[in-house]
């Protein structure tokens, strides 16, 4: 399975989600073929195609190979930032 990963802020990355707008709890948009993922990739300026199961990039030029999901502390901080930003 493939997914598209984007840089949403300098140094902050996320996988594209099925909903728009989305939260970190939204389901990730996945693709069965690399061609389907490529079609979604064209919508994003900072996107790369990654293996959904490993988060490894298929494009070595723009590799974010060691991206991991948020741990619970990071997720809580992101939720707090979201509340502050949306006041």
| Closest to 58 (Cα-Cα) out of 9, 16, 4 | 4
Higher per-residue pLDDT: 59 or 10: 10
Task: Say yes or no to pLDDT of 9 above 70.
Answer: yes
Q: What is the tens place of the pLDDT at every residue in 15-64?
A: 999 988 888 889 999 999 999 999 999 999 888 899 888 777 776 554 45
Number of domains observed in the structure of the chain? 1
Q: What is the tens place of the pLDDT at every residue in 63-87?
A: 455 556 777 888 888 889 888 888 6
Name the pTM for this structure: 0.64
Q: What token pair was written down for 25?
A: 């709890």
pLDDT of residue 63: 47
Residue range(s) defining the domain that contains residue 75 = 2-85
| Closest to 41 (Cα-Cα) out of 1, 2, 70 | 2
pLDDT of residue 1: 92
Tell me whether residue 81 is exposed, middle or buried, using C-beta atoms within 10 angstroms of its C-beta: 0 to 12, 13 to 18, 19 or more. Answer: exposed
């Amino acid at each position: 399975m493939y997914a598209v990963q984007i840089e949403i802020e300098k140094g902050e990355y996320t996988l594209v989600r099925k909903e728009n707008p989305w939260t970190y709890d939204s389901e990730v948009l996945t693709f069965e073929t690399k061609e389907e993922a490529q079609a979604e990739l064209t919508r994003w300026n900072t996107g790369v195609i990654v293996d959904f199961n490993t988060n490894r990039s298929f494009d070595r030029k723009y590799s974010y190979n060691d991206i991991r999901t948020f741990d619970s502390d990071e997720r809580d901080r992101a939720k707090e930032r979201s509340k502050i930003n949306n006041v």
